[in-house]
Amino acid sequence: MIRLVVGLGNPGKEYERTRHNAGFWLVERFSQASGFTLRKDPKFKALVGKNAGGAWFLLPQSFMNLSGQPVQMLAGFFRIKPEEILVVHDELDFEPGIARLKQGGGIAGHNGLKDISQRLASHDYWRLRIGVGKPPAGAEGADYVLQKPMAEDKVAIDQAIDRALQVLPEMLTGDMQAAVQKLHSGEPKPVEKKEPPKKEVPIKEPEKKAPEPQKSGGLLKSLFGKK
């Protein structure tokens, strides 16, 4: 059973539309759809809300690399175990449109997860990973996640969040196997990129030279012979 859902992101208008705030986007949308309010709680340094089923929802307001402090404080106050926590975050290893659920695992350089794992002294919390795509060649991941996604990618990310929201009730009740099956089976199939057909270069045949006209004297000699 999930008793605490944490959406990761950075506070402030300058960050609200960036890729790093994918976790914020999901929790905010669930709050609106479910009819509960996320209110600022200085004690936990976060926006905090509670749904009708009794689960807590938290958006840290301490910036990404300090996300663990609000999680640790709220989880400690309400005696919530790591395996009862779901963290929603952006994932560079997945293309936009992909959402995956798993428990534990590596943090792949994600500063928010790093701080949460250190504060909880555990990797046993659940993770809902929202794909935002890899940065282009030569670009730094830290800069890439702090940029707004392209319009096409944002549509795909929103679709992934929609599918995740549909199975969030199963996650909250602890039916993780059903949530995984529904979420992963609904993923869009990767589009195969077909290479354009190669243009055949026509082979030019060598031009035939027209026979050179014979001189009139030569023609008479061929007809009458030499005199």
Neighbours of 45 (CB within 10 A): 20
**Which residue is it, tokens 């702090």?**
146
Q: Point out the catalytic residue in the list 20, 110, 123, 184.
A: 20
Paired with 115 in beta bridges are none
20 a catalytic residue: yes
- Judge contact between 12 and 64, C-beta under 8 A: no
Neighbours of 221 (CB within 10 A): 13
The region, left, alpha or beta by phi > 0 then psi within -120 to 50, assigned to residue 55 is: beta
**Which residue is it, tokens 């943090």?**
107
Distance in angstroms (rounded) separating the CA atoms of residues 28 and 33: 9
Give catalytic residues, as residue numbers.
Answer: 20
